[in-house]
Amino acid sequence: MANIGKHKERENKMSEYEHGSMDIYDQEKTYHSFLMLGKWTAYICIGILVFLAIVGT
């Protein structure tokens, strides 16, 4: 019976959430860093391919 009380308590906490009220600054910062990492990785790979095409190895 104790589990039922915990379930009701958890259900009440979830119902208090308001869409758009969470601070997402850290998530945005991490996502921006991830995109920058992907962009620079692509630049480096393209640079290596161009260098190998010019050198002809």
By residue range, what is the domain housing residue 54? Answer: 25-57
Nearest to 15 by CA among 7, 26, 23: 7
pLDDT score recorded for residue 21? 82
pLDDT score recorded for residue 56? 86
**pTM of the predicted model, to two decimals?**
0.59
Where the chain has pLDDT below 70, the residues are 1-15, 57
Distance (Å, whole) CA 57 – CA 38: 26
Q: Is residue 55 part of a domain?
A: yes
Q: Is residue 14 part of a domain?
A: no
Token look-up 């921006």 returns 32
Q: Is residue 7 part of a domain?
A: no
